[in-house]
Structure 1
Amino acid sequence: MGDLPAAASDRLRLAELQVRARERRCDALLALRRPEAAVPDLQHLVAEHPLRERLWARLVTALYAADRQAEALDACRRCAALLRDELGIDPGPELRDLEQAVLRQDPRLLERLPRPVLPAAPAPAPSSSVDALVGRRAEMDQVRAIAEQVTGGRSAVVVVEGEAGIGKTRLAEAVADGARLLGWPVAWSRCADDAGAPALWPWTQVLEQLGQPELDPAPATPGDDADAARFRLFQDLRARLTAAASRPVLVVLDDLQGADTTSVALLGLLARHLPRAPVLLVVTARTVGEQLPEAVADCLGRLAREPTAAFLRLRGLDAEAVGALLAAQLGSPGDRALAVAVHDRTAGNPFFVVELSRWMVGAHDLHLDDVPVPPSVGEVLRTRLARLPEGTREVLELAAVAGREVSLDLLEAAGTPAEDALAAMDSALAVGLVVEGGRPWRWRFTHALVQEVLAGDLPAMRRARLHARIGEALERRLAGTTDDGLVERLTHHFVAALPVVGPGPALLYLSAAARAARARLAHGEAAAHGRQALALLDPEAPDAARTRHDLLTALGNDLLRSGQLTEARGVVAEAIGLARQLGDRECLAESAAVWGSVTLWNWRPHGVVDADMVGVLEDLLAERDGYDDPTTARLLGTLGVELAFGPDDRGVRAAERAVEMARRIGATRSCSAARSTTSASPCGGARVPPSCGWPPPTRRWRSPAGGCRGGPSSWPTCTGPRSGCTWATRPGSRPTTTPPGGWRSR
């Protein structure tokens, strides 16, 4: 292996094992009453490792047992002098007691000879983690029963919820191991690995592991119907899962609280319309101790109402299970009092128990007689971190800021020499704070809480500087990749580095991340990026008003497409007001035309016509008389919907002009928007061109006071008096009441 960095730690480990083996051989010789044979080896050991008091104690004991008392006393004094000269310390209690025993010729000294006890043959290892799981028999029995139903050809969902560290992932791993033993294909997806994960990442991992092509949403355009496109995406996912389920399949979505809203929305649809195939979907979610994202909370609420979904709320282990877990971690049966004490301090949280047992092993105090048990996992982790060699914590802090998993090249690009990074990670690996990642030269924190403690303990300014270092290192990768995930990570780091680098980089990457989210039909994420960009914009910056207007207009579009109409109304109104202040007619047209995009909703309350907005639209259209362009078509469409509750047919005429213009200029997306707005205009003779290359919009309804609105050309339209209309429809259904004037087709 030569001088490879990985070989260094292996050489150290093997050298230590050799020393331990030689020491055990000497112990065996002493136990066999052959001290004279042990003395030469012990003399070589203390020469090679002169600061190890345990080896000196073995040599003194061997010399005394070999009737070489003077040499034994000399060895005690040589060790004491060496420790004082080299380290400035006195020998420990064991050597001091040995010296007094040699001087007194204490006969009990020979009782110190080792009496090795041959260990019993170890019990056979369990066949899988299902057998090794502690304290979760009832939950596993419930999952097994559900799995038997899935084997019979039906689908099911199991949601495992609870606080951090309670064992959700551990239970899911046991379920996955059991499924593999039965020959099931297993796909495991982690949703909360990094803040910069792109939309649909959980489902991308699942499909890749099942041998299915990844989801490929069509590129989004301003005229797209986002809801219809998202439903097509769901149908695609459902079809791919069905294709993979020629036999029972297990899909695990771990840490749902970290998933993007689009992936969560697809999960909600999938749970309601599970494929008729043997698919078992296991979802873990941290529902205790933190505020869930709104999309996740809504999805879990919907799942709770589905008959095919089962919820498992994990609680803390009882004292007996804690004792069993401690015995497994410590390698020997523990006493009942210790198990009760640990259970009292940890409330049975398995992660807390495991971390505490590691701390106990490191402290060489399996009973904690003098050392108090830390009251929380944070204290346990901080104690372990404090024992790391100098310089190690600084590297781990940089890694924690970078994310759950970090690579050597990223640490090096962020300013940490490779030798320092390797030494730090070897130390962290040795104490169990990190494990080796999925690829060479990568490391992953054993638990998210380790990363959170490291990052959370940093002073705010130091944390911002570390984020800036990581962001600048990642920025150098942009030239060679088109990965949306990299843009998301850059956004995350430069927003956190705001006090150090200023708002410029954060605004740049927030805009790029919003564009990437729109391309994936993730308009909710795009809107979140837009809000954050507006919050960071410096009002004193050059051209700040124009930048704010552009951000507001883009945010209004995203809010409209994600169905957040109330907020969209306020945002678009602010954009229009800002455009008026700027005196920029093109800006005013762009913001006023937002509502000309495809939408299923009329944003005005029933019966309301905003005369001021109508005046703005008519003024802008008068200026653009003779223009044939998408913006003008959207303005006409917006005017059509603004006049939906008007006393005349001006809205209908505006919508018809919008459709005609869109068809004339060949703008399919503008044509679909215009048709959508036409369907929101009052009925009574408006004819929509029967085909413009776009699916028909959803049927709309109006109350009796406002008349009726019909759908596309082949749908029936109400021709009766407005005062008597009481019917309404939903997509794909017939009217509930025949209108007084009968039906006619367009």
Structure 2
Amino acid sequence: MGRGALVAAGQGHGRVAVISGPAGVGKTRLTDVVDDIAGNLGLPVASGRAVDDAIPRGLVVILEDLHWADRTSLLLLRHLVADLSGARLLVVVTVRDPAGPAEQEQASELLTELLRAPGAIPLPLTGLSSVEVRRWLDEVLGPGTVTDELADRVHRGADGNPLLVRLIIEAILAHDGSSIPELSSGIRVRQMTRGLLARVEPPTREMLSAAAVLGEHIDPTVVGRMLDRPDVEIAGAIEEATLAGILRSMPGSLAFTHALVRDAVYTDIGEVERRTLHAAAARVLGERADSDDVAGIIATHWRNAGDAASAERCVTWAQRAADAAWTSYAHDEAAHFRSIALEAMPDDREGRRRDLLIAAARAEFAAGQIATSLDRCCCAADLGESVGDGGTVAEAALIVSGIGSAPVMGVVDELCGRALDMLPDGDPALHARLLAQRALAAAEREDVAALRMLSETALGLAERSADPDALLDAVHARHLALTASGHEREREQLARRAIAIADRAGQPLATMWGHVWMADAGFGTGDLALIETALTELERVAARRHLRLARWHALRLRAALALLRGDIAQAIAHNDGAAMLGDRGGNRRGTCRVRGIPTHPRPRWRRSPLGPTYDSDRLCRSHSR
């Protein structure tokens, strides 16, 4: 990479460089080199912050430890690197090799997506060679003092890992070169860190334990308050730990010399002390004026504190974190913190658990986690039914909607039936919504008569109630009932009606459906201008509201439109993008399958609400005219 990629970025040839490798192999050190070269070339470097005036000259963005990033940040990064052509930007990211099967799957997906970007530069780092280790030993211990046996033992013991090599060398120096640590059983960072800790005073070790609980990067003020020690004592402990090679201080930053060193310190903390420190960290952070900004971190500390009182506090802070994420349309993050709250919720809080299950299911559905959301809905419905709460069962039945999957909609249909059996008469809006859901399920099992009857009844009840939610759901169902040939204009009118209602009610998901239907109507009549307009609006909704489901629909419909125009390559690209999103959400149905059959699946009497409805032969004839 080096100078060439930096020069290219400054000239408007944007790139993304992906530095990967095991912990301790030197990923951060390489980013430091990139930083130095960029400075020599006059290119500003941003590490996690924007530099507004740097773009005319070019900009280098360094993002370290991507394996710790939340899902929303990863989606933003993927969007950023998708089209760097013409940008004066070099994005450098580091990601650690996975430690287990779950991390392996996540890392593989992340690296695959990043390396698909045009001009992506893969930089997998491996360990040092035996020759490089020998050269390092010569530089530190002096030429002529390093035997081949010593160099070989250090190389094998550290497996070439630069961090381990450094710790071994420090251990050798600590013994004045007179002895070396035993390497036959393999050297581990934890063993080396224990040696470093043995060289500092107990108050410094106490400070390091508190710092390790906070994470790799350290706020001395927070550490002092956690331990109830004055700033001057904390400053002295930090200085001693820095001289011992455990901490490193940079302008505006204090951190452990490596994440593995922090992990080793943390692992050696006793369980009781660790829980006490997590509780102290949660209290100190919770008293800050910006506590809402770190609500998720506070929730995690309370979860790790481990006792019953801490669990209650974990629920509270996790809910605050989820609410803030939901407000910011960070649906993945909202779902994550709802899940944390559920895990911490005491078993005897059934009422709160029902409410939290519903909230989690909504967040997961918005994040495209369809299977998980449906499981939450079933759990909430079971709890509601056990206490005769039909309202909860109805709420659970109405969350997952519009998914073109017979198994999914079969479960939803069963939930709707249970809710209708429990609800009294007198709420036409709620009955309309449940009947509309059942109509969608009837469509999936190809029960035409039930679809038409249920949708008609639902629309009548919704119009009587004038409730916007009920109207939108009923319009959705009725639109589906009219997907047979000959009802194109009626479907277009229903789509326009849905968009108008949704915009007034501020419901982005309903707005999404309206634009999907508008595209559907365009496919039915051969109106390519209508299709293009609908897709443009759909993509705006996806971007503005961060709706993965809307993005999925847009990609699938773009694939169908590209196929119609004869652009097979573009159709495949859009189709693959839709399939990737569908896989993550547990629903892959409805992609165009352009590799197998070069046409969009033709409908019989109807089409799933997930896909366009049109007769491909008639559309082609209309377009040829």
> TM tier, shorter chain?
0.7 to 0.9
Matches of 1:736 and 1:314, distance apart in 2: 53
Partner residue in 2 for 1:509: 317
| TM value normalised by structure 1 | 0.63
Assess, with a 3 A threshold, how the Cα gap between structure 1 residues 614 and 510 changes in structure 2: closer, same or farther.
closer
Identity fraction in percent: 26
Aligned to 1:647: 448
Q: Is the 8 A contact 1:652 1:678 kept in 2?
A: yes
- Counterpart-to-counterpart distance in 2, 1:607 and 1:483: 38
How far has the Cα of 1:319 moved from its partner?
A: 2.3
User: Structure 1 residues 658 and 409, CA, compared in 2 at 3 Å: closer, same or farther?
Assistant: farther
Instruction: State how 1:29-178 maps to structure 2 within 5 Å.
Output: 142-178=1-37
Could you tell me which of 590, 613, 616 is aligned with 1:737?
616
- 1:257 aligned residue: 67
Distance 1:160 1:509, change over 3 A: same
Distance 1:508 1:335, change over 3 A: same
Task: Give yes or no for contact 1:405–1:437 (8 Å, CA) kept in 2.
Answer: no
Corresponding residue to 1:321 among 126, 132, 138: 132
Q: 3-state SS of the aligned residue for 1:615?
A: helix
Shift of 1:180: 1.7
Q: Is the 8 A contact 1:643 1:681 kept in 2?
A: no
CA RMSD of aligned residues (A): 3.7
1:567 — aligned with what? 372
Whether 1:683 and 2:490 are equivalent positions in the alignment is no
For the 8 Å contact 2:130–2:151, the answer to whether it is kept is yes
Q: Distance in 2 between matches of 1:436 and 1:676?
A: 59
Whole-Å separation in 2 of the counterparts to 1:675 and 1:612 = 21
Q: Does 1:312 align with 2:102?
A: no
Q: 2:355 aligns with which of 514, 537, 550?
A: 550
- 1:161/1:313 contact within 8 Å kept: yes
Q: Which letter maps to 2:75?
A: A
Letter paired with 1:158: A
1:285 aligns with 2:86: no
**2:240 corresponds to 1:427:** yes
Q: Which amino acid aligns with 2:37?
A: G
Alignment map for 1:221-300 (pairs within 5 Å):
245-290=55-100, 291-292=102-103, 295-300=106-111
SS of structure 1 residue aligned to 2:218: strand
Matched residue type, 1:581: S
Could you tell me how far apart the structure 2 residues matched to 1:606 and 1:740 are? 31
Closer/same/farther in 2, CA of residues 176 and 503 from structure 1, 3 Å limit: same
Q: How many Å separate the matches in 1 of 2:209 and 2:476?
A: 53
**Cα distance change, pair 494–537 in 1 and its aligned pair in 2 (3 A):** same
Answer with 1 or 2: which has the greater Rg. 1
What CA deviation, in whole Å up to 9, does each residue of 1:185-221 have, x standing for no partner? Answer: 21223xxxxxxxxxxxxxxx2x2xx227xxxxxxxxx
Whole-Å Cα distance in 1 between the matches of residues 478 and 145 of structure 2? 76
1:360 matched to 2:172: yes
Residues 427 and 508 from structure 1, CA distance in 2 versus in 1: closer, same or farther, beyond 3 angstroms?
Answer: same
Instruction: Tell me what 1:388 maps to.
Output: 200
Instruction: From the superposition, tell whether residues 375 and 616 of structure 1 become closer, same or farther in structure 2 (CA, over 3 Å).
Output: closer
Matched, 1:604 2:406: yes
Decide whether aligned partners of structure 1 residues 300 and 654 sit closer, same or farther in structure 2, where only a CA change above 3 A counts: farther
Match of 2:561 in 1: none
Deviation at 1:284, TM superposition (A): 0.8
Q: Structure 1: give runs of 5+ residues left out of the alignment.
A: 1-141, 190-204, 213-243, 701-708
Deviations 1:90-110 (A, max 9, x none): xxxxxxxxxxxxxxxxxxxxx
One-letter code aligned to 1:422: A
Residues 623 and 448 of structure 1: CA distance in aligned 2, closer, same or farther (over 3 Å): same
What is the SS of the residue equivalent to 2:400?
A: helix
Conservation of the 8 A alpha-carbon contact between 1:523 and 1:559: yes
1:467 to 263, 268, 278: 278
Encode CA deviations 1:102-137: one digit per residue, 9 max, x unaligned: xxxxxxxxxxxxxxxxxxxxxxxxxxxxxxxxxxxx
> What is the SS of the residue equivalent to 1:281?
strand
Q: Distance in 2 between matches of 1:710 and 1:173?
A: 51
Q: CA deviation at 1:676?
A: 5.6
Tell me by how many angstroms 1:159 deviates.
0.9
Of 184, 189, 202, which aligns to 2:43?
Answer: 184
- Other-structure match for 1:234: none
Q: Deviations over 1:35-65 (max 9, x none)?
A: xxxxxxxxxxxxxxxxxxxxxxxxxxxxxxx
Aligned residues: 524
* 1:238-270: CA deviation from partner (whole Å, max 9, x where unpaired): xxxxxx532332222111101111111222233
CA distance 1:569–1:656, shift in 2 (3 Å): same
Deviations 1:338-359, CA, capped at 9 Å, x for gaps:
4333222212211112222233
Task: Measure how far apart 1:639 and its partner are.
Answer: 3.9
Aligned amino acid, residue 454 of structure 1: V
Match of 2:337 among 529, 542, 545: 529
Structure 2 distance, partners of 1:567, 1:602, is 16
Partner-residue secondary structure (3-state), 1:361: helix
Q: Residue 328 of structure 2 corresponds to which residue in structure 1?
A: 520
How far the C-alpha of 1:657 sits from its partner, in A, is 5.4
Aligned 8 A contact 1:326 1:357 in 2: yes
Aligned to 2:290: 481
Partner letter of residue 652 of structure 1?
Answer: S
CA 1:712–1:348 in structure 2 vs 1: closer, same or farther (change >3 Å)? closer
* Cα pair 1:325 1:354 within 8 Å, conserved: no
- Judging by fraction of residues, say which structure has more helix: 2
Counterpart check, 1:591 vs 2:591: no
Shift of 1:678: 5.6
**What amino acid is the match of 1:472?**
R
What SS does the aligned partner of 1:250 have? Answer: strand
**What is the rounded CA distance, in whole Å, between the counterparts of 2:70 and 2:87 in structure 1?**
26
Cα deviation digits, residues 594-619 of structure 1 (max 9, x gap):
235xx5x2353399597644434545
1:728–1:737 contact (8 Å) kept in structure 2: no
- Residue 587 of structure 1 and its aligned partner are, at CA, apart by 2.1
Mark the CA change 1:661 to 1:475 in structure 2 (over 3 Å): closer, same or farther: farther
Query: Which moves more between the two structures, 311-320 or 585-594?
Result: 585-594
> Do 1:250 and 1:281's aligned partners in 2 also have CA atoms closer than 8 Å?
yes
CA contact (8 A) 2:603 2:615 kept: no
* CA deviation profile, 1:356-393 (whole Å, cap 9, x unmatched): 2233333322xx44654572222111111112113321
Aligned to 2:589: none
Three-state SS of the structure 2 residue aligned to 1:317 is coil
Mapped contact 2:391–2:419 kept (Cα < 8 A): no
Shift of 1:710: 5.1
TM-aligned CA deviation for residue 314 of structure 1: 0.8
Deviation of 1:582 after TM superposition, in Å, equals 1.3
Q: Map 1:408-423 to 2 at 5 A.
A: 408-418=220-230, 419-423=232-236
Relative to structure 1, the CA distance from residue 713 to residue 164 in structure 2 (aligned partners, 3 Å threshold; closer, same or farther) is closer
Q: In the alignment, is the contact (CA less than 8 A) between 1:165 and 1:351 conserved in 2?
A: yes
- The C-alpha deviation readout for 1:280-315, integer Å capped at 9, x for no partner, is 221111014455275543121223444522212111
Give the conservation status (yes or no) of the 8 Å contact 2:279–2:305.
yes
Q: Which residue identity lines up with residue 211 of structure 1 in the other structure?
A: D
- Indicate if the aligned counterparts of 1:524 and 1:562 stay in contact, CA closer than 8 A: yes
Against the structure 1 CA distance between its residues 452 and 607, is the aligned structure 2 distance closer, same or farther, given a 3 Å change threshold?
A: closer
Q: Would the alpha carbon gap of residues 482 and 503 (structure 1) be closer, same or farther in structure 2, given more than 3 Å must change?
A: closer
Per-residue deviation, 1:153: 2.7
For residues 331 and 681 of structure 1, the distance between their equivalents in structure 2, rounded to whole angstroms, comes to: 84
